[in-house]
Chain A
Amino acid sequence: MKIKKLTLRQKKAISGLLFIAPWLVGFLVYYVSSIFLSIKFSLSKIDIAGSGGYSAAYIGLRNFKYALFEHADFNQIFVDSLIDILIDVPFIIFFSLFIAMLLNTRFKGRSLVRLIFFIPILLGSGAIAEALDLATQNIQGGASAMFSDFTPPSGVNVDYILGVFLDLGLPLGLVDYIVDLVSRIYEIVRASSVQIIIFIAALQSISPELYEVSKIEGATAYETFWKITFPMVTPLILTNVVYTIIDKYVTSEVVNTAYDTAFTTYNYGLSSAMSVLSTIVMCLILTVVCVLISKKTFYYN
């Protein structure tokens, strides 16, 4: 039998598929079936049987209709979370790029500062946060108590500063936006610690020759930033925007509501409908954002 020789393109396609093969198997085994099950849940009424099993009865789109038009506050929570995400993402990106650039310059005690900026990743979520939450909840009876307990008290009269800015003629919306961000500074630092690390890695992968050349040619720091640093980190700006949106979404009220619906009121159908709905909307937003940013993204090739 004569074996047809593969073209270079086909060979490359096969090795590409081999590279992603482990992931593809995992995706098919762990995700596809689970996603189908979630969609099936969202289209049915789930009854938990006494033995731990469940029975699903097909009810069409009723869960979706209920979530969107009848549920007391899903609508509002959903829209609020989306607006929160859209407000915070640009600020977090600029903030983390700014801090990454500060941390990338040479100064005394740099490794200590980098260590400090790493701590929020550990304290922000997961088991350690949970242990702390539990400890304070037992005393004060509320997770929010932790914040008031551990964030340093500010002795600044915010209203006075607000008044000064308003007297200067700054628009109220802008002042509100800034005051809101400043008062949530702990949250924002916590939400941008991963992005800072990604940006530092990006900044360090810029070859120093580029900076040397621009210095010899007499470029100012401002020009160097916009012509070299910024274009070279755009691929990771895209990564960070995607990460920030997802991170904000995964920790948002929508996901909490869906989780509560599933595990405190045991309405799996409704909960699946909520998460399917919000996941679809997030995917749409991510696609739009990716298309918009990729147009401006600069790849070295």
Chain B
Amino acid sequence: MKIGIIDLIKFKTMEKDVLQNYVSKYANRIKSFLLSIFKFFIITGISFVILGPVISIFSNSFFSSTDVYNPSVFLIPLDPTIDTYRLAFMRLDYWNTLFNSFIYIALITLLQILITSMAGYGFARFEFPFKKLLFGCVVVTIVLPAYTIMIPLYQHFRNWDVLYIFQIFTGSRLNLLQSTKPMYLMTLFGSGLRSGLYIYIFRQFFRGLPKEIEEAALIDGANTWYTYFRIMLVNAIPSVLTVTVFSMVWQYNDMFYSRLFSIPSSHNITFRLSTIQATIAFVDQVKDPLVSQLYVYAGVILVLLPILIMYLFLQRYFMEGLERSGIVG
């Protein structure tokens, strides 16, 4: 701080203030410095805990079969190879399966967002009879362990029909198993993978939005559906993105329903991954588990990469771009 000659007269009275200013400035600087060190340690520590397994999977995926049996090799392979990747690539039928999986997942996610956000909005903003009871049912669908309903579901889709229409016209019911149809149907009717949770997230979010938005829309002459699609859903973009990310990741990584409905492995790259070790053991005659696990690691990296890239891409909107949108914009 510069002090002029005229100010010197006032110096005695100012002295105390200036000193205090300096002290608080330095105290603030030290405080923020200590805080950032603290932050750095916590974040690095936890990142290490998370990354530990990933690093060892990644480095193991480059091991050749001699490295596995060499006790002096740790993390850095002596004889690195990409043969593991080549074989994993082939046995996963990588590009085809990935393409199919992504189309399947994207469609399911779109349906999830549409249906669950509608239900969430309905529960958040409207009064109708038995609302609390029905919402209790949503919670029950989240809590109920999925395997308790797996046998009825299996039978339902094994002999699928709507009001006996197919039975009357074709003489037999449809078998929807071994296709992706059961998953589409269940998602369309709000019973897909973790749909209950998404309804819950949307309901909580819509309850947090101010009611004035809809009142304003109503006065301006917008009907309920217009208000929902053009105003509320746009304001709910943080939740929409959260649900998008969760839905894509969980659907991508789903095992339970894929197995129950025997969804073809050409539409499900992670399901293929879970059988890659057996495939390689039988087709390529790699029977040694220590060696064949290397192919699994390479496969894991191949399967993880696209979803991580997708997340990085979404994160730009999901995390950064939203700060300005706020609640009401």
Contact = CB atoms under 8 A, between A and B. Distances in A.
Interface of A: 9, 12-20, 22-27, 29-31, 33-35, 37-38, 99, 102-103, 105, 107, 111, 113-123, 125-128, 130-132, 134-136, 138-139, 149-152, 185-186, 189, 194, 197-198, 200-201, 204-209, 235-236, 238-239, 242-243, 246, 249-250, 255, 258-259, 262, 268, 272, 275-276, 279, 282-283, 286, 299-301
Interface string B216-251: 000000001000100000000011011001100110
Contacts of A38: 148-149, 152
Nearest to A124: B253
B150 to A, nearest CB: 9
B323 interface: yes
B275 to A, nearest CB: 8
B68 to A, nearest CB: 10
Contacts of B324: 208
Nearest to A38: B148
A29 B26 CA distance: 67
Contact of A115 (B122, B201, B312): B312
B289 A135 contact: yes
Contacts of A37: 149, 151-152
A119 B54 contact: yes
Mostly helix, strand, loop or mixed at chain A's interface? helix
A239 B250 contact: no
Tell which of A27, A111, A114, A139 has the most Cβ of chain B within 10 Å.
A27
10 contacts: A16-B126, A23-B138, A31-B149, A37-B152, A38-B148, A111-B320, A134-B274, A139-B293, A197-B242, A243-B197
Contacts of B128: 12-14, 16-17
B262 to A, nearest CB: 14
B43 interface: yes
B261 interface: no
Interface in B83-132: 115-116, 118-119, 121-123, 125-129, 131
B289 A138 contact: yes
B143 A207 contact: no
A189 B50 contact: yes
Contacts of A102: 39, 42-43
A235 B207 contact: yes
Nearest to B312: A115
Contacts of A198: 201, 242
B122 A30 contact: no
B315 A114 contact: yes
Nearest to B258: A127
Given A22-B190, A26-B191, A299-B207, A189 B49 contact: yes
* Shortest Cβ-Cβ A-B pairs, 6 listed: A16-B126, A26-B189, A19-B122, A23-B190, A126-B253, A127-B270
B304 A283 contact: no
Contacts of B205: 205, 235
B253 A125 contact: yes
B156 interface: yes
A208 B326 CA distance: 7
Contacts of A236: 204
Given A207-B326, A299-B208, A151 B52 contact: yes
B149 A279 contact: no
Interface stretch (B11-19, B171-179, B294-302): B294-302
Contact of A34 (B153, B207, B242): B153
Given A116-B47, A138-B293, A151 B271 contact: no
Given A16-B131, A126-B270, 18 more contacts: A13-B128, A16-B128, A19-B119, A23-B189, A30-B156, A30-B186, A111-B320, A119-B50, A119-B304, A122-B304, A127-B274, A151-B53, A205-B327, A209-B326, A239-B201, A250-B145, A259-B147, A279-B143
Contacts of B52: 150-152
